[in-house]
Homo-oligomer: A and B are copies of this chain.
Amino acid sequence: MRLNLPAPLAIAFEEAESAALRREVPVGAVVADKAGNVIARAGNRTLELKDPTAHAEMLAIRAAAEILGSERLVDCDLHVTLEPCAMCAAAISFARIRRLYFSAGDEKMGAVEHGPRFYSQPTCHHAPDVYSGLGEDRAKAMLKEFFRSRRS
């Protein structure tokens, strides 16, 4: 049984599933405006692009900034299937994202509720409002299946 997810987060899951089919770690992200209209969507492409910075969040933020013609995504929200790492958490801050929605926490690499907890640092000058947990079980199952299949 699948939860009904808000449209941008459902699209982030589609992007994560596409990433898994490309043998990338399945993470997907969407930048939406405050009415929920999708501005940019992306999945993880670090292997395909041979780019260590090509996480889903980074690609979605860069695409949205190009579309909007500004390095500040004012009044935009980011929806992502996994807790952002330190790189992505800081990029979200620099882009002035209004709200961050993420599904599964990431004990190993997360930087929002784990590790550096970037948004609580004195060196963080803009923190989004954070909403976590919606779609968590689905995101965790997808990652677990991906790493299980990669080992076999």
Interface residues of A (CB under 8 A from B): 46-47, 49-54, 58, 61-62, 65-66, 69-73, 85-91, 94-95, 107-111, 114-118, 121-125
Contact = CB atoms under 8 A, between A and B. Distances in A.
B115 A123 contact: yes
Contacts of A114: 123
A54 B61 CA distance: 11
A62 B71 contact: no
Contact of A111 (B62, B85, B86, B125): B86
A46 B94 CA distance: 10
User: In the assembly, how many copies of this chain are there?
Assistant: 2
Contacts of A91: 52-53, 87
B108 A115 contact: no
A96 to B, nearest CB: 8
Contact of A52 (B47, B94, B115): B94
Contact of A51 (B66, B85, B88, B121): B66
Contact of A65 (B52, B62, B90): B52
A99 B108 CA distance: 23
A117 B123 CA distance: 10
B50 A66 contact: yes
A109 B51 CA distance: 24
B50 A69 contact: yes
A136 to B, nearest CB: 19
A88 to B, nearest CB: 8
